[in-house]
Amino acid sequence: MHLHILGICGTFMGGLALIARAAGHRVTGCDAGVYPPMSTQLAEQGIELIEGYGADQLALAPDLFVIGNVVTRGNPLMEAILDAGARYVSGPQWLGDNVLPGAHVLAVAGTHGKTTTSSMLAWILEACGKRPNFLIGGVAHDLKVSARYDHSVRPFVIEADEYDTAFFDKRSKFVHYRPRTAILNNLEYDHADIFPDLAAIETQFHHLVRTIPASGRIVVPTGSEALERVLARGCWSETATFGAGGAWQAGPADESGAFEVRHGDRALGTVRWTLGGAHNRLNALAALAAAEHAGVAPADGVAALSRFGGVKRRMELRGTAGGVKVYDDFAHHPTAIETTLDGLRRQVGQDRILAVLEPRSNTMKLGAMAARLPDSLRQADQVFCFGARSGKHALGWNPAEVLAPLGERASSYDDLDALVEAVAAAARPGDHVLVMSNGSFGGVHGKLLEALARRDAR
In tens digits, the chain (458 residues) has pLDDT values of 999 999 998 889 999 999 999 999 999 999 997 666 677 778 888 899 999 999 999 999 999 999 999 999 999 999 999 999 999 999 999 999 999 999 999 999 998 888 889 999 999 999 999 999 999 987 666 777 888 999 999 999 999 999 899 999 999 999 999 999 999 998 987 766 788 899 999 999 999 999 999 999 999 999 999 999 999 999 999 999 999 999 999 998 887 778 999 999 899 999 988 777 788 899 999 999 999 999 999 999 999 999 887 666 666 788 888 888 888 887 767 777 887 788 788 778 888 999 888 877 665 655 556 778 887 888 888 888 887 655 555 676 777 777 888 888 888 888 888 888 888 888 888 999 898 887 667 678 778 888 788 766 66
Asked whether residue 162 falls in the same domain as residue 85, the answer is no
Tell whether 82 is covered by a domain.
Answer: yes
Asked whether residue 204 falls in the same domain as residue 145, the answer is yes
Q: Is residue 447 marked as binding?
A: no
Q: Is residue 114 marked as binding?
A: yes
Tell whether 390 is covered by a domain.
Answer: yes
Tell whether 64 is covered by a domain.
Answer: yes
Asked whether residue 14 falls in the same domain as residue 130, the answer is no
Tell whether 203 is covered by a domain.
Answer: yes
Asked whether residue 122 falls in the same domain as residue 267, the answer is yes
Asked whether residue 152 falls in the same domain as residue 270, the answer is yes
Q: Is residue 113 marked as binding?
A: yes
Asked whether residue 353 falls in the same domain as residue 291, the answer is no
pLDDT at residue number 113: 83
Q: Is residue 11 marked as binding?
A: no
Tell whether 311 is covered by a domain.
Answer: no
pLDDT at residue number 361: 63
Domain end call among 49, 74, 93: 93
Q: Is residue 111 marked as binding?
A: yes
* Total number of domains constituting the chain: 3
The span from the CA of 9 to the CA of 258, in Å, is 37
pLDDT at residue number 369: 65
pLDDT at residue number 121: 96
Tell whether 295 is covered by a domain.
Answer: yes
Range of the domain at 119: 100-306
CATH number at residue 141: 3.40.1190.10
Asked whether residue 244 falls in the same domain as residue 337, the answer is no
By the 10 Å C-beta count (0-12 exposed, 13-18 middle, 19+ buried), 376 is classed as buried
Domain end call among 279, 306, 333: 306
Asked whether residue 179 falls in the same domain as residue 51, the answer is no
Q: Which 3 state secondary structure label does DSSP give 446?
A: helix
By the 10 Å C-beta count (0-12 exposed, 13-18 middle, 19+ buried), 389 is classed as exposed
Q: Is residue 141 marked as binding?
A: no
pTM of the model: 0.76
pLDDT at residue number 181: 98
> 437: which residues sit within 8 A by CB, 6+ positions away?
330, 332, 357, 358, 360, 444
Q: Is the peptide bond before 76 cis (omega within 30 degrees of 0)?
A: no
Spatial contact of 135 and 119, defined as CB atoms under 8 Å apart? no
Tell whether 346 is covered by a domain.
Answer: yes
Asked whether residue 167 falls in the same domain as residue 300, the answer is yes
CA dihedral 247, 252, 258, 263 (to 10 degrees): -10
Tell whether 68 is covered by a domain.
Answer: yes
Asked whether residue 243 falls in the same domain as residue 373, the answer is no
pLDDT at residue number 337: 82
Q: Is residue 165 marked as binding?
A: no
Q: In 257-293, which positions are buried (b, 16+ CB within 10 angstroms) versus exposed (e)?
A: bebbbbbeeeebbbbebebbbbbbbbbbbbbbbbbbb
Asked whether residue 16 falls in the same domain as residue 44, the answer is yes
Domain end call among 46, 78, 93: 93
Asked whether residue 73 falls in the same domain as residue 116, the answer is no
Residue 157 CA to chain centroid, in angstroms?
Answer: 14
The span from the CA of 53 to the CA of 31, in Å, is 7
- Containing H/E element for 117? helix 114-127
Pairing of strands 164-166, 169-172: antiparallel
The span from the CA of 183 to the CA of 112, in Å, is 12
